[in-house]
Amino acid sequence: MNRDDVLTLVREHLAEELEVDISRIEEGARFKEDLDADSLDLYELVMELEDRYGVAVSEEQATHIKTVGDAVGFVLEHAPA
């Protein structure tokens, strides 16, 4: 698993879930401010990351994931080897 693989998954998930053009979803894009995601959208993204990559995301950790890049970095840092 590399950064590009995780980024692709996150971008595809968000494009479908939020019904936005995938070109708007860059690493620096903020979920709420730039992509108009609400708390349910973010919860579903966290669930997808947990299921796909085997990471556990606590509520506290989730509050620190504010951008697409934050989500990708979290997966890379916490995914089992």
Q: Alpha helix (H) ranges present in the chain? A: 3-18, 31-35, 39-53, 59-63, 68-78
The single residue of 4, 34, 38, 51 carrying the catalytic annotation is 38
Cα of 29 vs its chain's centroid, Å:
10
Report the half-sphere exposure of 16 (CA within 13 A, side-chain side). 8
Q: What is the CA radius of gyration of the chain?
A: 11
Q: How confident is the model over 22-81, as pLDDT tens digits?
A: 999 999 999 999 999 999 999 999 999 999 999 999 999 999 999 999 999 999 999 987
**pLDDT for residue 10:** 94
Fold of 3-78: 1.10.1200
Name the DSSP letter for residue 30. B
| Annotated domain spans of the chain | 3-78
Annotated active-site residue 5? The verdict is no
pTM of the model: 0.90
